[in-house]
Structure 1
Amino acid sequence: MFHVRISGYKRLKTANRCAGSFFRERYRLPTELNALVLGNLAPRTTGSVRLLLRCALSACLFGWLVCVQAASPSVALHYGADAPLEELKAFDIVVVEPDHGFDPKRYRKPYSELYAYIAIGEVQPSRDYAAAIPAKRLLTTNTDWGSKVIDLSWPELPVFVADAIVSPLWEKGYRGFFLDTLDSYRLVSGIDEAAQQKGLIAVIETLHRRFPGIRLILNRGFEIVPAVRDKISMVAAESLFRGWNAAARRYVEVPASDREWLLGQLRRVRDEFGVPVLAIDYLPPQARGQMRETAERIRALGIEPWVTDGQIGTVGIGRREIVPRRMLMLYDGSPGGLLIEHPALRFAAMPIQHMGYTIDFRDLNKPLPAGSLAARYAGIVIWANAPVARGRQVADWLQQQIDQGMKVAIFSSFPFAAEGRLASRLGLRSVAVSGTPGRLTVASQDAMMGFEAPLQPDRRNLTTLQLADEQGRSLLKLADARGQTFDAAALTRWGGYVLDPYAVVGLPGTEQSRWIVDPFAFMQQALALPDLPLPDTTTENGRRLMFIHIDGDGYPSRAELPGTPLAGEALLTQVLQRYRLPTTMSVIEGEVAPDGLYPALSAEMEAIARRTFALPYIEIASHSFSHPFDWSRAELAAPKKKDDESYHLEIPGYQMNLEREIVGSVDYIRKNLVPPGKPVRIMLWSGDAAPQAQALRIAENAGLLNMNGGNTVITRSFPSLTAVSPLGYAIDGIFQTFAPVMNENVYTNLWRGPFYGFERVIETFQMTDFPRRLKPIDIYYHTYSASKQASLKALHKVYDWSLAQSPNLIHASDFIRKALDFETIVLAREDGGWRVRGNGELRTLRAPPTMGYPDRPASKGVAGYVAGNEGNYIHLAGGDTFLRFAATRTGAVHLTDANARVSDWQSLGAGLRFSLKGYQAIEFSLANASRCSVLANGRALTPRKSSGGVQSFGISDAAATIETRCRDR
C-alpha cells in the first residue's frame, strides 16, 4: 500500500474522482463500483469492497503529488506520412493522421495504440467527405489553415460525423480518436455559442452510443467537459509555454496572462472532473534541449506534456524521450552492385549492431533524407571508397546535418573532394605538397589505431589533410620526408574520420582483412554515443543462446556407415535422435520430391523426412525447390526465356520462378512431409544466400521467417572482426537475418577436406564469446555432414563442446524473431529510468558497468541480472519494461541465470513468482535468496550449490512455476 498525504476534503474528493476515472478507463469497472469510487467510502460499504477501493486509490496516487499524473497515459502526436511508429510505440497513445494509411490493427500493442486525428469543427476541402457538408453549414474560412468552419448546431452533424468520419476509421481498427477544432466556431462573430456547444455534446454522445468502447481525447472544448466527463479519456490544449503562429509561420512564447488562463482551465478539468490533461507545445525540431526543458516544466505542473514542431511532423518529447537507436549508414553504391558486398555492410555494420543500434542504409548517389534527423538517428556513418559524382550536394547536406547537431563518422574516404572551402567548413585544411612526399612515417598515433594489425603508412593513398580546428584531435598523424604532417585519422567537433588504408586493410595474397582502427572505440567517441542499456541477441537470462539449423543439401548422399544408408537416414539416427535437441531442419524439394533429380530414391527420402519432421523437437524449414546458387540472378530470370540452369540445380523441365522456389517448396513440404498441424516456419536461403527485394517480399507475404547469409568465420588463423558478420540487414524494409556462424562447407574447404574441419567452428564460438559476446552458438551444417565418418565425429565434438557451455537452447525461429525485435525495440528516458518496449521476443539488455546495477524493486518487468564481459546482462520478463539503476547492488531476490524463458513474472512482497519454460531440464539460479524457501510447482527445492550469495537449482522438467517465499530481512 502506498501512502500519500492529502489535506482537506476537497483533495480527497479529487483523489476519489481520479481513481474512478483511472480504473473506469483502464479496467472498465462495473457502474456500481464506479459510483462507489467516485463517492466517498460510505460507512455501510462492505469490508472487501472498501479494501478494493483503498487499493484502487493507492494505485492511482502512486508517484506524483496529484493522482491524475499516475492515471494519465503517455501521449505522442505525429501527423506525418512517415511517422516512425516503431519508435513512437514508446508512448501509450500515438495520435496520427489516418489518411496516411496506417494500420491500427497491425500496430496495436498491449501497451500502445494508434488514435486517429479527426477535425470536428473544421474541414479541409481535400477531405473525401467535405463535399457532403451543405454549403450553408460552412460558416467561414480559417485563413491560417485554409479550412472551412462547420456549424456545430447542424442537427444532422452527429450522424454525419459518426457515418462519414468515424465509421470508416472504426472499420479499419481505430478505437481511439483525437477530436480537434472544437472551438473554431469562435472565429464567427456573434455566433450562438451555447447552441454550438450543445451540438458538440450531441456529437460525443452519439459517438458513444454508436461505438461502444470508443475512447476520445478533446482538444480544448473546456465548456462541455462537465457534460461529457464520463465519455472522454483526456482533454488537450495547445501552447501552454511555447506556441506556433500559423499565419506568421513562426514560433512564439506564450504571454503569461494567456498561460495562466489556460493553466486554470486544465487544472479545473483535472482537479474538479478527474480527467487527465495534455499540453501540446511547439518548438523548432532542432531545439531538442528547449523541448526537453519545456516538457519538464509542463510535467512539473502535473500535466502530461507533448512538445513537437509546428507541423507535428517530427518525433517530439513528452513524459518519455525516445533515445534514437537508428544509425544512418551512407555508402557509395555502384550500378548493379549489391549492398551485401560493400564494406559498409561487411565491416562497419557488425560493430554498430553490437553497440545496440539498428541501421538504415542509404546510397550516396541517391536523394538523402530531408529535414532534421536528430530525433530519429543517433548518428551518421559514411563509408565511401572515393568522392561521389554528386559530392557537392552531399557536402551541403552533411553540413546542414552537422549544423543541427548530428555527429558523423567517416570511413575510407570523404564522399566529396575535401579541399578548399569544403575542408574549411569541417575544420580541416588541404595541404599543398610539391613533388614526391617521400617515405611516410608515423608521427603520432592514438591507442585505438593499430587495432588488429600494425600501421603501414602508404604514400600511394595519401590524403593531404590537416586538422585546422583546435577542437580536433589527431588519431593518426603521418609525416613525410620533409617533415610535413598529415592527419589521416582524427576526432573532430562534428565527429571524426579514418581514411584509407587505416580503417580496414586486406592482407596480400589472402581473402583476409584486418581492422587498423578499433571500430568500437572510434564510433563510440566520434558519434559521442552515450552509455545506454542496449538490446542483445546473444543471451537470454544470463545464458548464451544456442540453436541448430541444417540445410537439406546432400539428403540423397550415401553415408560411410554399415549398409550405406542415405545421409538423411544417417543424420536422423546418428545425430538428431541421439541428442534430441531443438533443431531446425530443411529439405530441398528438387532433391527429395518424385519429380526432382532422384525419382528412384524419392519414396525412401520422403519417408525419412516424415520421420524426422514428426519429432517434437524438430522445427521445419524449406531450403528452396532448385537450390539457387545466385539469388540476384534468380530475381532477374525471365520465366518465358530459356534458362541456362547454371545458377541452380538442373531439374528437368524447370524454369526459374521465385514463387515456386519459396512458396511452392513450402507447400510441397506441408502437403507431403509434415504431420497435420505442424507448421513450416522458415525459408533458409541457399547458395550465396543473398536474396533481393522480390524474394524477401515473397517470403514475408507467405508468412515465413527467413535466415542464412553472412560469413562469420573468425578463427585462430583468421583472428579478425572483419570475419564476423552483422546480425543481418533490411532491403526495402524487409529484414534478412544472417546465420550467426558459417557452416561446415567453409571449414572443410568447400567440402573438399579435411572432413573433420568443422570441429574448428569451436574456435569461432570461443572467439565470438570473448572478449565480447558477439554471437550465440549456432551449429549450422548440411545433411551431407552425416555422410562421412570424419564429419560425423566432428559434429559430435561440436555438439558436446556446445552443450558443456550450459547454453539456453532455442529454435532458429526464436533467434530470428529476436533479430526482428532487435530492429524495432524502442528505448526512452522516463523519470530517471528507462522505458524499453518491444515484441517480447528479445529479452536481454546489456548495460555498461558505468550505469550501475539494475534496481529490481524499483523497476517493472526486470527479472534480474548477471555480470558479463562488457557489463551486466539484464533479464527482461516481457515486452514492456521500466528499468531503473542504482549505484550499489540491492538486496532484493532476483534471477541470476536460467536456461529457459521467463513468463508470468510477479513480485510478491519480498518474494517472487514466475514460470520457466524451455527445451531441456530446467536449471536456474537466484541471488539474495538465502532467507527464502524456493518451490517448483509447489514442491520445495534444495539448492544444488550456493556461492557468493547465489543459489543454483535444477529440476527434471522443461517447464515449472517457481515461487520464493522470503522472511523479512
Structure 2
Amino acid sequence: MTHPLRLLVLLMLALAAMGATNYAQAKKAPAVALYYQHNAPLEDLKVFDIVVVEPDHGYDPLALRTKGTELYAYTSVAEVQPTRAYFKNIPAQWQMARNGHWNSVVVDQTPAQWPAFFADQVVAPLWQRGYRGFFLDTMDSYRLASRFDEAAQQDGLVRVIETLHERFPGIQLIMNRGFEIAPRLKGKIHMVAAESLYRGWNAGASRYEEVPLADRQWLIAQLKTIQDRDGIPALAIDYVAPHDRALARETAKRIEADGFIPWVTDSRLSSVGVGTLELVPRRILVVYNSSESPALNYSNPHRYAQMPLNHMGYVVDYADILSPLPGGIQRDRYAGVVTYFSGFIPKNRMRELNQWLQARKTEGIPIAIMGDFGLQPDKSWATTFGLQANDLNITAPLRLKGKHAAMEFEIALPPIKRDDSPVLLVGPQAAQAEPLIEFVDKNGRSYVGGALMPWGGFILDPYVLTELPGTEQTRWVVNPFTFLPRALQLPPLPVPDTTTENGLRLLLAHIDGDGFPSKAEMAGSPLASQVLLQEIFEKYRIPQTMSIIEAETAPHGLYPDQSQQMEEIARKMFKLPYIEAASHTFSHPFLWDSSVKHGLFAENSQAQQYLDIPGYKMDFKRETAGSVDYIRQKLVPAGKPVEVFQWSGDTAPNEAALKASYEAGLVNINGGDTSISKAQPTLTAIGALGITKGNYLQVYAPITNENIYTNLWQGPYYGFERVLETFEMTDKPRRIKPVGIYYHTYSASKAAGLKALKKVYDWALSQPLHPVRTSEFIRKVQDFHTYAIAREGDGWRVRGAGQLRTLRMPYSVNDITPTLAQGVGVAGVSEGAEGSYLHLTGDRAWIARPGGSAAADATNAPAVWLHTANARVTQWQRTQQGQRTDFTLQGHVPLQFSVAGMTSACKLSANGQPVVAAKPSNNLRTDVRTYKLADASAQIQVICAGR
C-alpha cells in the first residue's frame, strides 16, 4: 500500500494544479434526469442540474433551486389524459384522436384559442408555484389522427411556444422532438429531446427493444442537425429494464459518445437512471422481524449492523417481515439488502420472503444474510443461492476445518454444538464461494456456517455475535467491517463524515436539564444549576447546549417556590453567547411509545410515563412546541433561537413524537447509548448515527451520558471520567464518533461528579478539536442522510445541504487512493487513521478520481491548502496560478489553523495584518505552518511570490 503521506502530497499537488476551469470545461451541457412517478427521490436527484418531474405530484421547485437543481415540469402539449384538471375545459371539437397505449386524447393545435388556453390552464398555475422550466412532450402526436394538416399543426405548435415566451419572460423549454419546427424557434428552445436512440420501450408489446439501425441513424442525424445548426444541446432518452444497470450504463456511454446528453431509465420513468452522471446508491435495506424485540431501537439489526454501515457511508432503511415487503428496491438507489433474523419468521411470511429474496438476487442486488435464514431454504435455493440446508446427512461430530481472517474479530469462535446448523455449498456457485467458517463431519464432508458468495454472503448464528455469560455485553465474532462490504460488494466511495471538519475531530457538549432544582452537596447547599453555571459554563467558554424541563423550572410546575430562582439562573445561562438553548420536554416522559412494554416502565402507569403533574395527560405537542414556547418567552434573550429538542426517558420516540418535533421546527437529539470502554471494549457498544421512523429522523447523541458510567447515578459519582476512554476508543483505530460531552444538571450536585466534569472538559480543551454547537452536529447527521454522490466522468459530483463538510477518502482501496484533483469546492486535505479528510467549502463539490484525465492534469507546481482548522470555511478562492489564496474562517473559539504547501516565499495575513506562524510541532511536516488568532473569525490571505 502506498504510504498515506505520499498519497496526501499527490492529492494536494493535484489540487494545486487544477482549478475550477477544468470542471467548467467538463460541464458543457447540464446533467439531466427525468422521473415521473410519485415520491421522486429529490434528495438523490439534486445531484443533477435539471430534473423533469410530473408537477401534479406536488413538488416544490423553489426548495430544490436553492440546492443548485432546477425542476422542470412535464407538460404534454398535444395529448391530455382525462385525469388532468384542465381536461374538462377542452372543447370536444379540439379533440382529434385517441392514444390507446396511454389512455390520452390528442388535441388539435390549429384553433386560434389553443395557445392562450395552454398558457393559462397548463403553464400559468405551474409558473405561480415556482416552475421556470418546462418539458414539452407529445409534440408530434397529431400524427395519430386519421386526417390532419401537418403544416397547420406545426404552425399551431409554434404559436404555443411563442405565446409561452410572451407570457412568461425567461421561461426555459425542453422540446421533445418537434424537429421540423425547431428552425422557426431560434432562441426559444433550451434543449431538444428525443426518445429511443439505442434502446426503446414497445408499449404495444410491453417489452424493451433495441432500436433498428435505420431508425437510429435517422434520429442521430436529426439531433446532430439541431446541435450544429441551432447551437442547442440534444437530450437522448432511452429505456432499459430497471434491474439491468450494466446495459443502462453501456447505453448512456454510447449516447454520450455520439455527442448527446444521455438519460437511460425504465419505461415508467420511475427509477434514477443513468445519464452524464450516475447516482451512487447509498441506501441499504435491512429486513428484520419486529416480534424479536420491543421496538426497532432495541433490535439486533439496529443495535449492531447499522453502525458499521453508517460508518462506511450508507443510510439504512428498515422493512419489517411482518408487513408486506417493499417494491422498488433497485440498484438505482439501493446498494444492497441485509436480512437479520434470530430464528424462523412466522410461517405465513416465509413464502413471500423466499420469493422476494430470490427476485432481488435475480435482479443483481447483493444480499447479506445474518443470524438465521428466517426460513428453511427449499430446493430452489440450491439453484438460486448455491445452498442446501436440509437433508444434509451430517455424520457427527463436526470439527473445525478452517476460518476466514474475518472471524474471531472480538472473541474466539464459540464451541461447536450439536444444534448448530451449517449448510452445504452446492452447484456451480460452490466453486466461487469463499467460506468464512468451515467444518467437516466424521466422513470428511464439508459444511459452512458462513461464506462470501457471488450473490453476496451469509454468516449464521452463533458466528455473528456472542453474549458474555452473566453480563449484558456482546462481542462480534465476525468482523462487520469485513463481512458487510464484502457481502454487499460495496464499491469504494467518498464517505460523508459526521465526525470531522477541516481535519479536526468535532467537539460538542449538551446537557439534559434533569436536576435543575437539586441541592448541591456543597457549602450553602446551592442549586446544582447554579453550580453548573458558575463552575462549568462561566469557565469553559465553548459551545454548549443547555436544556430545560419546563415542569421543573416554571412557576406552574413541580417547584413553584423555587421557580423564580431557577428561571433567573436559566436566564444567566442563556445570556452567555456560547450557550445554546434547548428543551428537554415539558414533563420529562419516561416512555415515548405507550405501545412498547419493557423494563422499568412495563406497568405503564401514568406516574411512570412522565413527571406527576396534576391534571396533565401526555401530549406530544405540549412536550415539544409547548415547552419550547415557554423557553422562548420566559428564559432566552430576545432574538436568541431555541431549536434543539433533547429526548428524555427511554429516548425512543415513536413516529408521532418525532413528527411533533419536526412540526415545531426543531432539530432533535439523544439516544444511541455509545459507551465503549476498557470494561466493555467492543464495537457493539457503539451506536448508529440515528434512526428513521416514517419520514422523521431521530439523531443520536454521539456518546452516552454519565448515567451509564455511574451505574444510573448510584455511584461511583466520579465515574463519568471514564468517558475519556470512550472518546479515545471511538477515535482509533476508526474515528466513528466526535467528542460528545453529554450529561445531566445533577452531575454538578456531587463534588465527585463536578470534579469528573472538569476533568472531561479539561481533556477536551487540551485536544486539537473543532468545537460546534449541538444543533450544528445534528444538522450534519441530517445532511448525511440526504447526501448525494454521483460518478461523473473521471470523478465524483457531490451535493449536500452545506452542513456536512468532510469527505473521508479511504487509503486502503487502490482505485480511490487520494490522488485526486480538485474540480471545485475543496479547500484542503489532512491525514486520518482510515484515510484522508477532504475539506469542503460548501454544499457541492467535484473531485477527480485517480487515473482519470483530470487527475493527470496535476503537476508538481506548489500551492497552499488548508490542512486543519478549528473553524468553518465560509469563503474560499484561489487564483488559477496559485499565487494568492483568500479564505474566511468562522468558528466559536479563538482560531487555530494550519496551512500546507507553505514556503519561504509565502506570506499569510489575517484581517489585513501579517501573522507569524507558531513554532512547529514535531508531528507536522515542514511545509505545514500553524497559526493562532485571538478572534473566532478572520479573513485570511496567503500570497506566494513567484508562483
Class of the TM-score when normalised by the shorter of the 2 chains: over 0.9
Return the match for 1:774 from 724, 736, 759. 736
SS where residue 538 of structure 2 aligns?
A: helix
Return the match for 1:551 from 503, 512, 516. 512
* Whole-Å separation in 1 of the counterparts to 2:68 and 2:358: 39
Deviations 1:823-867 (A, max 9, x none): 010110001100011101101111112345656764210111111
Q: Does 1:592 align with 2:564?
A: no
* Whole-Å separation in 1 of the counterparts to 2:328 and 2:565: 62
* Whole-Å separation in 2 of the counterparts to 1:837 and 1:161: 35
Compared CA separation, residues 305 and 374, structure 1 to 2 (3 A): same
Aligned counterpart, 2:831:
867
SS where residue 450 of structure 1 aligns?
A: coil
Q: Does 1:758 align with 2:720?
A: yes
| More displaced stretch, 913-922 vs 137-146 | 137-146
Return the match for 1:448 from 406, 413, 417. 406
Q: Does 1:879 align with 2:843?
A: yes
Compared CA separation, residues 163 and 346, structure 1 to 2 (3 A): same
Aligned counterpart, 1:536:
497
* Whole-Å separation in 2 of the counterparts to 1:479 and 1:247: 56
Aligned counterpart, 1:14:
none
Aligned counterpart, 1:166:
123
Aligned counterpart, 1:524:
485
Aligned counterpart, 1:932:
906
Aligned counterpart, 2:3:
none
Amino acid at match of 1:921: P
Whether the 8 Å CA contact 2:423–2:448 is kept in 1: the answer is yes
Return the match for 1:319 from 273, 276, 279. 276
Compared CA separation, residues 397 and 435, structure 1 to 2 (3 A): closer
Compared CA separation, residues 82 and 540, structure 1 to 2 (3 A): same
Return the match for 2:671 from 709, 713, 720. 709
* Whole-Å separation in 1 of the counterparts to 2:507 and 2:22: 43
Whether the 8 Å CA contact 1:285–1:309 is kept in 2: the answer is yes
Aligned counterpart, 1:350:
307
**For structure 2, which runs of at least 5 residues remain unmatched after alignment?**
1-19, 598-603
Aligned counterpart, 1:467:
425
Whether the 8 Å CA contact 2:820–2:850 is kept in 1: the answer is no
Return the match for 1:683 from 606, 631, 645. 645
* Whole-Å separation in 1 of the counterparts to 2:137 and 2:292: 48
Whether the 8 Å CA contact 1:744–1:781 is kept in 2: the answer is yes
Q: Does 1:895 align with 2:855?
A: no
Aligned counterpart, 1:791:
753
| More displaced stretch, 465-474 vs 819-828 | 465-474
Amino acid at match of 2:829: Y
* Whole-Å separation in 2 of the counterparts to 1:571 and 1:939: 39
* Whole-Å separation in 2 of the counterparts to 1:540 and 1:269: 47
TM-superposed deviation, 1:651: 1.5
Return the match for 1:293 from 245, 250, 255. 250
* Whole-Å separation in 1 of the counterparts to 2:218 and 2:932: 64
Compared CA separation, residues 894 and 226, structure 1 to 2 (3 A): same
TM-superposed deviation, 1:472: 1.1
Return the match for 1:652 from 605, 614, 623. 614
* Whole-Å separation in 1 of the counterparts to 2:293 and 2:437: 35
| More displaced stretch, 569-578 vs 293-302 | 293-302
Whether the 8 Å CA contact 2:236–2:262 is kept in 1: the answer is yes
Amino acid at match of 1:929: M
Return the match for 1:944 from 918, 924, 927. 918
* Whole-Å separation in 1 of the counterparts to 2:142 and 2:767: 71
SS where residue 895 of structure 1 aligns?
A: strand
Q: Higher relative CO (CA 8 A, sep ≥ 6), structure 1 or 2?
A: 2
TM-superposed deviation, 1:767: 0.2
Return the match for 1:90 from 43, 47, 56. 47
SS where residue 334 of structure 1 aligns?
A: helix
Q: What does residue range 159-558 of structure 1 map to in structure 2 within 5 Å?
A: 159-334=116-291, 337-371=294-328, 373-389=330-346, 390-430=349-389, 432=391, 437-438=396-397, 440-459=398-417, 461-468=419-426, 469-480=430-441, 483=444, 485-558=446-519
| More displaced stretch, 482-491 vs 665-674 | 482-491
Amino acid at match of 1:935: S
* Whole-Å separation in 2 of the counterparts to 1:729 and 1:318: 32
Aligned counterpart, 1:22:
none
TM-superposed deviation, 1:237: 1.1
TM-superposed deviation, 1:110: 3.5
Aligned counterpart, 2:877:
906
Compared CA separation, residues 460 and 598, structure 1 to 2 (3 A): farther
TM-superposed deviation, 1:671: 1.1
Compared CA separation, residues 530 and 856, structure 1 to 2 (3 A): closer
Aligned counterpart, 2:521:
560
* Whole-Å separation in 2 of the counterparts to 1:844 and 1:85: 22
Amino acid at match of 1:924: F
TM-superposed deviation, 1:643: 6.4
TM-superposed deviation, 1:485: 4.0
Whether the 8 Å CA contact 1:903–1:914 is kept in 2: the answer is yes
Whether the 8 Å CA contact 2:46–2:67 is kept in 1: the answer is no
Compared CA separation, residues 431 and 587, structure 1 to 2 (3 A): same
* Whole-Å separation in 2 of the counterparts to 1:686 and 1:372: 35
Deviations 1:483-519 (A, max 9, x none): 5543111111211111111101111110100000000
TM-superposed deviation, 1:232: 2.4
Whether the 8 Å CA contact 1:372–1:404 is kept in 2: the answer is no
TM-superposed deviation, 1:372: 5.6
* Whole-Å separation in 2 of the counterparts to 1:917 and 1:924: 11
Whether the 8 Å CA contact 1:285–1:372 is kept in 2: the answer is no
Deviations 1:647-704 (A, max 9, x none): 2111222222221111111111111111111111111000110000000000001100
* Whole-Å separation in 1 of the counterparts to 2:418 and 2:132: 65
TM-superposed deviation, 1:435: 9.2
Compared CA separation, residues 614 and 647, structure 1 to 2 (3 A): same
Q: Does 1:833 align with 2:792?
A: no
Deviations 1:775-799 (A, max 9, x none): 0000000001111111111111101
* Whole-Å separation in 1 of the counterparts to 2:815 and 2:935: 36
* Whole-Å separation in 1 of the counterparts to 2:713 and 2:543: 26
Amino acid at match of 2:213: A
Aligned counterpart, 1:812:
774
Q: What does residue range 586-735 of structure 1 map to in structure 2 within 5 Å?
A: 586-633=547-594, 644-735=606-697
* Whole-Å separation in 1 of the counterparts to 2:383 and 2:410: 32
Amino acid at match of 1:815: F
SS where residue 162 of structure 1 aligns?
A: helix
TM-superposed deviation, 1:575: 0.2
TM-superposed deviation, 1:423: 4.4
* Whole-Å separation in 1 of the counterparts to 2:886 and 2:221: 46
Aligned counterpart, 1:917:
890
TM-score (norm 1): 0.90
* Whole-Å separation in 1 of the counterparts to 2:701 and 2:99: 57
TM-superposed deviation, 1:296: 1.4
Compared CA separation, residues 62 and 336, structure 1 to 2 (3 A): closer
**For structure 1, which runs of at least 5 residues remain unmatched after alignment?**
1-57, 65-69, 637-641
| More displaced stretch, 252-261 vs 648-657 | 252-261
Compared CA separation, residues 833 and 851, structure 1 to 2 (3 A): same
SS where residue 904 of structure 1 aligns?
A: strand
* Whole-Å separation in 2 of the counterparts to 1:434 and 1:138: 72
* Whole-Å separation in 2 of the counterparts to 1:824 and 1:89: 10
Segments ≥4 residues shifted beyond 6 Å? 58-61, 433-436
Whether the 8 Å CA contact 1:856–1:894 is kept in 2: the answer is no
Q: What is the alpha-carbon root mean square deviation over aligned residues?
A: 2.1
Return the match for 2:934 from 948, 953, 956. 956
Compared CA separation, residues 659 and 497, structure 1 to 2 (3 A): same
Whether the 8 Å CA contact 1:539–1:776 is kept in 2: the answer is yes
Aligned counterpart, 1:4:
none
TM-superposed deviation, 1:226: 2.8
